[in-house]
Structure 1
Amino acid sequence: MFTLRSAALSVSLAALIGLGACDAPPPGVKPATQASEDCVVLAEGLYEFQDGQFLAVTAESLQVTSGTGPEREIQSGFAALGFPWMGLKLRDRVATLTGTAPSAEAKAAAFAAGEAAIAGQAPGGRSILVVDGISVEGGERGVGESLIQLSDSGITVDSCQRAFAGTMEGRNIQFESGNARISPVSARLLDAVTGVATLCGRFVIEIGGHTDSRGADDFNLRLSQERADAVLAYLASKGVPQENLLAIGYGETRPIDPALTLEAYEKNRRTEFKVIQR
């Protein structure tokens, strides 16, 4: 059973109460979408009030809260598999495995088992994106850590931008030297980015490609565009609608650090994500 987050429901109810009810239109007259500044006519259904507007809520966009429905069924098997510390956060078609593993080896085994369990529970053969949100005790944090927070929050421009920034903090999408082929080591990072883009589907996501200052200006501009295009293609291949994505190559025109050092070059070679209201 899917349930709406109580915070979102409270906001929706408060907004409806503040706006007040509208008088029913005469028979045969189609209701207006907005009868007055204080009166909004909505079709029967469930809504969230966000960014100054009512947004229809579908079953797929509701968060599966802990202990209910598919999430409970999948999580119940983790302990039996030997991973009692592993949890699951499921929203829309994005499943983020959570928890703190005692070691990198335990994390790898748990993630593989979690992927298999989720694939076996996907309703109607529906594709589920599995994201790594598992941290290692005393070691690396899960790349999907910010996605977990987004799954528990309202979907706004600000919350989506924070999720992208948190996901990319201290990380970068790796490409082969001098070309736009994405390194396999970046797959889990890209999956986390895909998860954020999926949950933030009501917005446009700009993918900005940047290079360092070495090499010819025109080569760097072309390379940055090709790399941004490659990231867009990856997200699209994982189910993010292409109309939600915009790839722009900035070349070497927007450096973070203008110094001519290897450290500066590494900072400037990056992919950034910007959330844009439609």
Structure 2
Amino acid sequence: MLYAISDIHLSYPGNRDEWQKLKPHLDDGLILCGDVGEKAEHLDLAFSVAKSNFKEVWWCPGNHELYSMPLKTAARGEDKYNECVEIARRHGVHTPEDPFVQWDEVIVAPIFTLYDYSFRPLHLTSTAAAIAWAEETDTVAADEALLFPDPHPSREAWCTSLVASTAAKLESTIAASPDIPLILVNHWPLRQDLVYIPRIPRFSIWCGTTLTEDWHTRFNAAVVISGHLHVPRTDWRDGVRFEEVSLGYPREWNEVKDAGKDVNDLLRIIWPGPERPQEPVATQWRRWG
């Protein structure tokens, strides 16, 4: 089987303790869909535990991996990302910078696209206007202080570059293997209509880019996996299954622990999965399983 989880946030002691309860699945694969943590030691712990319990492990970065902490001395932008990639490789973990790997009847494709503030109302025609709109409700992502785009002039420019290079890699993949569907793995949702965060709805501007809206059909996806929202769910679009697989901060999954569940119950089964529905299916909100 192929499992996935994201947003394990190992900067929190409770989440670190929970992660070390992971049980062996020595014939199975695990996808870590971003926001493992901010520091090298968080990635080392995440990858070492995952690799000791799973046959293969994939990772893509979230915004927290890209944070420059401590602010004055840490690597920034692409340098910080490349540091994370090297840590993953030392543990034998597949990254967006490596060749995509076939697993069973699918190809697992971890990608990295960032965001460009385009998940916003249509009347807001600039990044500055979008950020001001979010600030009206006291919503500001920590990214604005901690996530740098170096050497790109802006996060939007970095996103544009990433989208172009990722699309080229995906195009070459499906050209080489047209009959093998992909598991697309990205920390940020690929579609704006899947962003639902009722407590902080204007946080949407830090949640993706409209440039990827059609990637699930354009790139022959069987499943699209994301995190970031801390709102676990399953959706279907155009016959493609979308899985939001966040764990989240300790306070956000206390009810799961109160129900006698642990991190093993929160791993989402990605492949094999349910058959494609013949009729429209409503969103399945998930607490575990």
Give the TM interval when normalised to the shorter protein: under 0.3
- Higher normalized helix content (fraction of residues): 1
Query: Could you state the TM-score of these two structures normalised by the residue count of structure 1?
Result: 0.24
Query: Could you state the TM-score of these two structures normalised by the residue count of structure 2?
Result: 0.24
